[in-house]
Structure formats: structure tokens, C-alpha cells
Amino acid sequence: MSDLIPLEQIESKILLIRGQKVLLDHDLAELYGVATKALKRQVRRNIDRFPDDFMFEITSVEVESLRRQFGTLEKGKHSKYLPFAFTEQGIAMLSSVINSKQAILVNITIMRTFVKMRHLGKVNIEIESAFEEIRQKLDCHDEDIGTLFEMLQMLFISSKPHPKKSNKKIGFHS
């Protein structure tokens, strides 16, 4: 099944809403091969399995924002009801609610996608940290090089031969 649904296809459906990576109910229903209405019905029947950190209903303002940002949720194409957004834990819980062979296989692929994204996020953080460390070292080196040039300039000035002073007195001589 993971060959049938590429990880990139699932990645493209993952959205960031309220600071959480989520999949919307209609995208999950499409992946599972069930109607969105049936998926939502199963969730409502088992609502105790879906606390707010597993699943939440997005607001109409968020729906409009999604329409503007991503061109998703075209008017008239989807349910008149506000969509559910499922976090990674909520998607894992869906496998106990929607019990079909396809749903199980899709869930495995979705979990792998979330793990891959989490790993890539850690790699990006590590790279960012390494860049910051290099930048700080370069800043220190810039200061050290500036100090070195100042010291060399002072050494150069102090090592210049001074013009010999003549013993002639200044002023009018008779």
C-alpha cells in the first residue's frame, strides 16, 4: 500500500493549523477510501477517543484562511460542516475506529510520513545550530583579526625610525 500512496502525496496534505501538523477529515477519508460523512460519523460515535490534542474542529475563519493560502477547500466542493483536523495521535486513534484493511495500511504510511517529517525537522534544527556556532566563531575571529591588525599597526608605527633631532636651537641666533 505504501507503494500506492507515496509519502510525498501524504506530506502535501499535512497542514499546520494552531501550531500543529494535521490532516483534515476529507483528506483522510479519501486516503482510507471511505466517505467523509462515514469517517465523521465514526469519530462522533467514539468522541471520547479524540480529546482536543488528537482532533479538533477548525473554525470558519481557519477554513477561509486555508482557501486563500492553499486553494484548498473550494466552496461547494466539500461538506457544509466545518472539517475535523486530526493530529498524529488522532490519526493513530482513527485506526481503532475505522477498521478496514486499507485504513490500517494507510495509517502505517501516514505514521511513517510523520516520523520522516519529524526527523527532517530535527536535522534542520541541527544544521541551524551548526550554522549559528560557525557564525559565532567567525564573529570572534573577526574581532581577533581586528585586534591583530591594530597591534601590527602600533608595532609598525613604533618601529619606524624617528627623524634625527638636530641640536640646533630654535629661534633667532646672532
Q: Are 43 and 85 in contact (CB under 8 A)?
A: no
Q: E strands along the chain, which residues? A: 15-17, 20-24, 55-57, 84-86
102 dihedral zone (left: phi>0; alpha: psi -120 to 50; beta): alpha
- Domains of the chain by residue range: 7-126
Residues 41-70 have pLDDT tens digits of 999 999 998 999 989 999 888 888 877 776
Write down the architecture of domain 7-126 according to CATH.
Answer: Roll (3.10)
At 21 the three-state DSSP class reads strand
Residues whose CB is less than 8 angstroms from the CB of residue 140 and which lie 6 or more positions away in sequence, other chains included = none
Q: What is the pTM assigned to this prediction?
A: 0.56
Residues 90-107 have pLDDT tens digits of 888 887 787 777 776 777
How far apart (Å, rounded) are the C-alpha atoms in residues 153 and 163?
19
